[in-house]
């Protein structure tokens, strides 16, 4: 029973943080980039990609979505302070050469 007393406030705090983060991720000045990628095989791959891409200036949120057996979609949300290019992303992933960015576009 003590666990329930402790867990409710913790759950409330995390819910509040999640909601604030969700609103922040979609503010009007944000910029979204969408890339098609290959070479993503597991959760560790996703973590490696997210860690590398998050070092680029202005990056706020990264999503990696499986599209089919060999390809994933990379979605990068930025604060709009820096323009990101495919070359920037490729350079960020240069130590992990088996990840390939097949296409890149800025989304509105």
Predicted pLDDT of residue 97:
82
Q: Could you tell me where the DSSP H helices lie in 26-67?
A: 43-53
pLDDT at residue 29 in the model? 80
The residues, any chain, with a CB within 8 Å of residue 39's CB and separated by 6 or more, are 45, 98, 99, 100
**Residue 89, CA distances (Å) to 10, 26, 64, 105 in order:** 36, 21, 14, 12
For the record, the structure tokens of 101 come out as 């960015």
Q: Whole-structure pTM over 0.85, yes or no?
A: no
Tell me what pLDDT residue 4 has: 52
**Phi-psi map region of 61: left, alpha, beta (phi>0 left; psi -120 to 50 alpha):** beta
Show pLDDT as tens, one digit a residue, over the chain (108 residues): 555 555 666 655 555 565 555 555 455 588 999 999 999 999 999 999 999 999 999 999 999 999 999 999 999 999 999 899 999 999 999 988 889 999 999 986
- The pLDDT assigned to 96 comes to 83
- The C-alpha atoms of residue 31 and residue 37 are separated, in whole angstroms, by 19
Q: What is the CATH number of domain 29-107?
A: 3.30.70.100
In the block, tokens 């949120």 appear at: 61
Q: Domain segments of the chain: what residues?
A: 29-107
How many residues does the structure list for the chain?
108
């Amino acid at each position: 029973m003590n666990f329930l007393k402790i867990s409710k406030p913790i759950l409330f705090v995390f819910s509040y943080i999640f909601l604030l983060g969700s609103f922040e991720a979609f503010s009007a000045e944000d910029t979204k980039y969408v890339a098609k990628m290959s070479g993503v095989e597991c959760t560790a791959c996703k973590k490696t990609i997210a860690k590398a891409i998050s070092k680029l200036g202005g990056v706020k949120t990264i999503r990696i979505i499986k599209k089919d057996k060999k390809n994933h979609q990379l979605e990068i949300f930025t604060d709009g302070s820096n323009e990101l290019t495919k070359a920037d992303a490729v350079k960020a992933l240069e130590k992990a050469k088996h990840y390939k960015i097949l296409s890149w576009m800025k989304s509105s």
